[in-house]
Chain A
């Protein structure tokens, strides 16, 4: 009697029934499921970059370039430092300036500025303004290559480094 009077008098019963249906509907449709999770796996992405600098020693700040200038047949020494966490796929040493012709050479150790020689040899010739790759011309991670600029024609300008993504690797563990 009390229930009947309440339901006919108001919307409370309808609301209660609707709430009950809403509450029970998802659980009635969901099938039992099981799950297995891994422990959190830390994934870090690599970075790749080379900085040209007039400084013989670091730190080498990203965003800098090397200013170069010289008379005919003069040599200038700069440094190419790898500031990334991987070896870039390629590096393009970009010269912009007014010299009609300069040559570049890399050396894994500091140049002997007296003789203009790399320890044990002439160093490795580097093509400017085009991608190059290989340990002789791309500095290792956390390391540097020492670069000698030889001005065949006098001039000045800047030397920058443009790097591309590292070579892809595949690993199993």
Chain B
């Protein structure tokens, strides 16, 4: 574009120069000069117009007749209560050392991609020793059943497999969730039946004299946690397909 513009200006300058020169040499001579100037101008304009295509090579295109549709997969997890149980909607009250409170939940991969690396983390919006102490704090264990658990009795009609040994709450952060030894979750139909066992270590040997517990910050008694259990999975390993 700039080249054409420059060429145009050159032709115009030549024409003006020729015009001025012709004024000096007379009308006859000026007629020939105008012809030359016209030719030069024409050539310059032609060069300007065609210079853009001088270096262009021949090209050819081939496209698929029908647009190829590409859809990306989805990775979705849902958490529901198992078998009419209360699941995580049921609070845990008055837990004492050695107590084990079982909740039954179903984890389903509702996405179109297979998932893998199921992991569990725990967050407490009101941290206390319950979730900050590795020796006195809550512990969480997970056992998987091949079929749905029976929440009321805690029985598994299939095969029960521990997928997470009792792990202290401080070790279940979102930054480093605990991996469940669970195989991949199939897309759309991948279901895992989990018994989530929350407990306080039986090793706690706290005694109370005359109704007075240990000082705050050292006693495990009378504390409250607000726990959120978070299950995560990652996308299956990427694949290469040929067809």
Question: Which A residues fall within an 8 A CB radius of B?
Answer: 31-52, 60-65, 81, 83-86, 88, 160-173
Contacts and interface: CB of A to CB of B under 8 A. Distances in A.
Given A32-B75, A41-B226, A173-B85, A46 B210 contact: no
A168 B211 contact: no
B221 A40 contact: no
A83 B211 contact: yes
Contacts of A88: 208
B153 A172 contact: yes
A170 B111 contact: no
Contact of B232 (A33, A81, A160, A168): A33
A34 B75 contact: yes
Contact of B79 (A36, A61, A167): A36
B210 A40 contact: no
A171 B109 CA distance: 28
B6 interface: no
A38 B120 CA distance: 11
Interface string B131-159: 00000001000000000000111100000
A97 B104 CA distance: 54
12 contacts: A31-B235, A35-B77, A40-B125, A42-B92, A42-B93, A45-B94, A63-B210, A163-B209, A165-B98, A171-B102, A172-B154, A173-B103
B213 A47 contact: yes
Contacts of A36: 77-79, 107, 230-232
Given A171-B101, A172-B154, A48 B96 contact: yes
Contact of B229 (A32, A37, A46, A162): A37
B225 interface: yes
B96 A34 contact: no
Interface string B218-240: 00111111111111111100000
A65 B210 contact: yes
B93 A49 contact: no
A51 B210 contact: yes
Contact of A52 (B99, B210, B234): B210
Interface stretch (B9-17, B25-33, B56-64, B199-207): B199-207
Nearest to A66: B210
B78 A46 contact: no
Given A42-B92, A65-B210, 13 more contacts: A32-B113, A34-B76, A38-B88, A45-B224, A48-B221, A86-B94, A160-B209, A161-B209, A162-B209, A165-B206, A168-B97, A170-B100, A172-B102
Nearest to A169: B99
